[in-house]
Amino acid sequence: MNILFVHNNFPAQFRHIIQALLREKAVALAAIGSSNARPVAGVRLLKYPSPQTAVVNAHPFARRFDQECRTAEEVLYNLTSLMASGFVPDVILAHPGWGETLPLRTFFPAARLILYCEYFYGSGGVQLGFDPEFPDDGLDGKVNLRVNNVTTLLALAECDRGVSPTRWQRSTYPIPWQHKIDVIHEGVDIDLVKPNRRAVFTLPSGQSLTKKDEVITYSARNLEPVRGYHMFMRALPQIMEKRPHAHALIIGGDGTSYGLRPPAGTTWKSIYLKEVAERIDMNRVHFVGRLPYPQYLSALQISSAHVYLTYPFVLSWSLLEAMGAGCAIVASDTPPVREVIDGENGLLVPFFELQTIADQLIELLANPRRFGAMRERARQSVVEKYDAERICVPQMMTLLRGGPPFVTGVGSAGAEAVAPGQADNNTASKAGKRIVRPRSRRIAI
């Protein structure tokens, strides 16, 4: 069987399934990605240059689509080269978000096309309508946001199957297409991501932190509002005051992965740090940037309390990795976090309630033994539902081989279709004091 992966940031979400396929006999793998794609031994990787042509003459609504068409043209050249070499895929697994899928069906009409359905843009959620601190751009902004879905809709019309990592992410897609989409998470390597009481994290200053220290961890690809960085920083002064020996270990880059960009010449990191800098002890606040994976795991393994805050958006790998490492977690009561955190394996708090966020973190730090069972349940939840090798990868293998829809640990394509927002509005409150629901603010999806 020949399998082609198409993703601008290859291997991205395909890393675990690729390793499993490399152990299979009579399977040949190829991939197409941008200049940012990383090679994987055993996979033929063709890279395309990111189009640099300005599109200022295009209508504002069409500028993204114009860029995606230029990307598709570059992918087309890679497909020509692939076909000329004699590689004809039986299955194509592709992300539709950047235009790379536009030429795939034309080139390989007989291949089974499976989409990685990560997120479908709407007028509520990550971009518009959730955070009152960032008002929307009016009707033009809403229309422009919906146009972002053009290539995804074309790909959905042509694909054979799709896969989303969470039920809520699937629910963002139009109901007529949800029947095509299975819910299978890419999973976590639980044999690597696990508790380690002997872990040590060495700061750039040379100071070492261990499980004996009070350490608050926060992790995101980039420090930005979409991942609640502003809420965490605003809660930090009170936490640091109440816990005078606690250290805050903040992991993430200075760029923008999602949502609005900061004003020119600034970063979200600097904006919100400046807002609270005079009220925190900077000797105990450590911005360590993006870390090599072993150091990142060490940070999770020494964590006394881990914070995960997010708009309603794509679920971060870091949440499941923190659970797998046995962290005591305070997470935002937003979708799709609720699919993972249930009040027994972590604490849910309202995204906008700074006092509640601070109170829960202070309680975790002050009473670590009280939450030992919660740490164990966090780990067990990942073992039972998100083990890449034993659960998620076998489900993906079934999908690649054309198997029927099936019920997974987190959802299935056979479940009833869900309208965007329904997964939030219909969520019943979980029992117990460990979940604090928003009292007056409703989450708009």
Domains within the chain, CATH numbers bracketed: 2-187+389-424 (3.40.50.2000), 201-385 (3.40.50.2000)
d(CA 42, CA 19): 9
- DSSP code per residue over 345-374: SSEEE-TT-HHHHHHHHHHHHH-GGGGHHH
Place 124 in a pLDDT band, splitting at 50, 70 and 90: low
The Cα 444–Cα 258 span in angstroms is: 18
**How far apart (Å, rounded) are the C-alpha atoms in residues 30 and 12?**
14
Going by C-beta distance under 8 Å and a sequence separation of 6 or more, which residues neighbour residue 36?
Answer: 8, 9
Contact criterion met (CB below 8 Å) for 334 and 441: no
Mean pLDDT within 185-193: 97
Q: Mean per-residue pLDDT for 165-171?
A: 96
Helix (H) or strand (E) holding 139: helix 138-147
Rounded to whole angstroms, how far apart are CA atoms 419 and 54? 37
Rounded Cα gap, residues 299 and 293, in angstroms: 10
Q: How confident is the model over 273-331, as pLDDT tens digits?
A: 999 999 999 999 999 999 999 999 999 999 999 999 999 999 999 999 999 999 999 99
Q: What is the pLDDT of residue 53?
A: 67
* Rg of the chain over all Cα atoms, to the nearest angstrom: 22
pLDDT of residue 139: 72
| 3-class SS of residue 163 | strand
Q: Render 281-328 in DSSP notation, one character per residue.
A: -GGGEEEEES--HHHHHHHHHT-SEEEE---SSPPPHHHHHHHHTT--
- Please determine, for residue 182, whether its predicted confidence score (pLDDT) is greater than 50: yes
**Where are the extended beta strands (E) located within 184-304?**
201-202, 208-209, 215-222, 247-253, 285-289
Model confidence at 75, pLDDT cuts 50, 70, 90, reads very high
pTM, full prediction: 0.89
pLDDT band for position 123 (cuts 50, 70, 90): low
| Mean confidence (pLDDT) of the chain | 89
* Segment 169-186 mean pLDDT: 95
Please answer whether residues 48 and 77 qualify as being in contact, where contact means their C-beta atoms are separated by less than 8 angstroms.
yes
